[in-house]
Amino acid sequence: MNASASRPVVVLMGGRSAEREVSLGSGAAVVEALSASGGREVLGVDIGTDGRWRWEAEEAGPAEALSALPSRAVYFLALHGGEGEDGTLQGLLSACGRAHTGSGVGASALCMDKAAARAVLNAAGLTVAGGVAIDGPDWRNDRPAILDRLLSLPGGSWFVKPNAGGSSVGVRLVGDPDALGAGVDALVATGERVLVEARVEGREASCPVLGNPRTSPRSLCPVEIVPRSGGFFDYAEKYDEVGGAREIVPPTGLSPATCQRLEEHARRAHVATGCAGASRTDFIVPPDGEPVVLEVNTLPGLTPRSLLPQSAAVAGIDFPALCEELVSLALAAEAAR
């Protein structure tokens, strides 16, 4: 057994975001997969809603937990949203010299900030939907002028979403111009910065990428997403195992040329945003024209319904092998530093 295969792994899951339950599912799956070989110590740590870390019979704050857990461990981040994905936890682990899966502080913070990520992707030559980012004070002070800007976006319907967040939590699809202001009001009232994007008609798709900065990342097969409700890929469509969206991989409604284009754009998005380990870029594919990037996810889900494992399986990478590859990429990033 090589040295990397014997390194302990600490799987961090749970957290305080609205995606806590999804994260717990991802974390449990990863613990099971990495434990199957029996070649290394694998510990699952639940970061509670109170911020405390709990594993086996132990409980501690983050700093104390890092001191108590194996110092050579690789930290496998199975968190989604909030401080588990926005660079906060990544910064703590890096400052303490702990290797971890996924992207570093900069890419994590950038991709969690949808408005900032849109600017970077656009500068890299990728197409994004027309949109406007709105801060609460600006909305309260200049509501009529901002509303005019929103109404001038093309398409006639809009997605109103938290600027920072994932799993489509809090996203509203608004088709009535008279209801647009109320949709923004509802999110502003929660203290969230708001992003309003013009709805782009087309097929939904998502494409994972594996690789670290300064290497040649490789894309996996895109996944075509067909919401059963005829709406969009919201939280229920993502995670409802009975009534959720159809996830088709390889796609049947997208041409081979379009799939190649999605893979190319996903690799470009991964590189432009500085992602490491795994990313997953979500797209709308209009009937004509270039794919439109919706967002780049730096910690793709790892539940049975998640898209990254489905896409990896088509490439011949089963779930335990995928988890092992993510650990190997973390160790390669540690060596590069």
Quote the CA–CA distance of 157 and 184 in Å, as a whole number: 13
Known active-site residue 301: yes
pLDDT tier for residue 151 given thresholds of 50, 70 and 90: very high
What residues does 295 pair with on adjacent strands?
A: 282
φ, ψ for residue 91 (rounded to 5)? -65, -40
> Of the listed 40, 118, 268, 280, which one is catalytic?
280
Architecture of domain 130-198: 2-Layer Sandwich (3.30)
Known active-site residue 14: no
The number of angstroms, rounded, from the C-alpha of 243 to the middle of its chain's C-alpha atoms is 22
> Of the listed 86, 104, 239, 267, which one is catalytic?
239
Quote the CA–CA distance of 302 and 310 in Å, as a whole number: 9
> Of the listed 237, 263, 295, 324, which one is catalytic?
295
Q: Is 92 exposed, middle or buried (0-12, 13-18, 19+ CB in 10 A)?
A: middle
> Of the listed 163, 212, 297, 311, which one is catalytic?
297
Task: Fold for 3-101, please state it.
Answer: Rossmann fold (3.40.50)
Known active-site residue 224: no
CA gyration radius for the chain?
Answer: 20
15-51 burial by CB neighbour count: b if 16+ within 10 A, else e?
Answer: bbbbbbebbbbbbbbbbebbbeeeebebbbbbbeeee
Predicted pLDDT of residue 1: 43
Q: Where in the chain is the domain with CATH 3.40.50.20?
A: 3-101
Predicted pLDDT of residue 82: 85
What secondary structure does DSSP assign to 197-239, as a single string? EE---SEEEEEEEE--TTS--EE---EEEE-TTSS---HHHHH
Is residue 171 a contact partner of residue 191, using CB atoms and an 8 Å limit?
A: no
Q: What is the pTM of this model?
A: 0.90
The model's pLDDT over 217-257, given as tens digits with 9 standing for 90+, comes to 999 999 999 876 655 544 444 445 545 678 999 999 999 99
Known active-site residue 282: yes
Q: What is the mean pLDDT of the chain?
A: 90
Q: Where in the chain is the domain with CATH 3.30.470.20?
A: 109-127+201-336
Residue 285, pLDDT > 60, answer yes
Residue 212, pLDDT > 90, answer yes
Closest CA to 100 of 81, 73, 79: 73
Quote the CA–CA distance of 305 and 29 in Å, as a whole number: 11
> Of the listed 212, 282, 306, 324, which one is catalytic?
282
Predicted pLDDT of residue 175: 86
> Of the listed 7, 15, 17, 19, which one is catalytic?
19
Known active-site residue 280: yes
Predicted pLDDT of residue 239: 47
Is residue 11 a contact partner of residue 30, using CB atoms and an 8 Å limit?
A: yes
Known active-site residue 2: no
Is residue 183 a contact partner of residue 172, using CB atoms and an 8 Å limit?
A: yes
Beta strands 218-219 and 9-14 are unpaired
> Of the listed 23, 108, 167, 306, which one is catalytic?
167
- In the block, tokens 């001038």 appear at 152
Q: Where in the chain is the domain with CATH 3.30.1490.20?
A: 130-198
Predicted pLDDT of residue 276: 98
Question: With respect to CATH, is domain 109-127+201-336 assigned 1.10.3720.10?
Answer: no
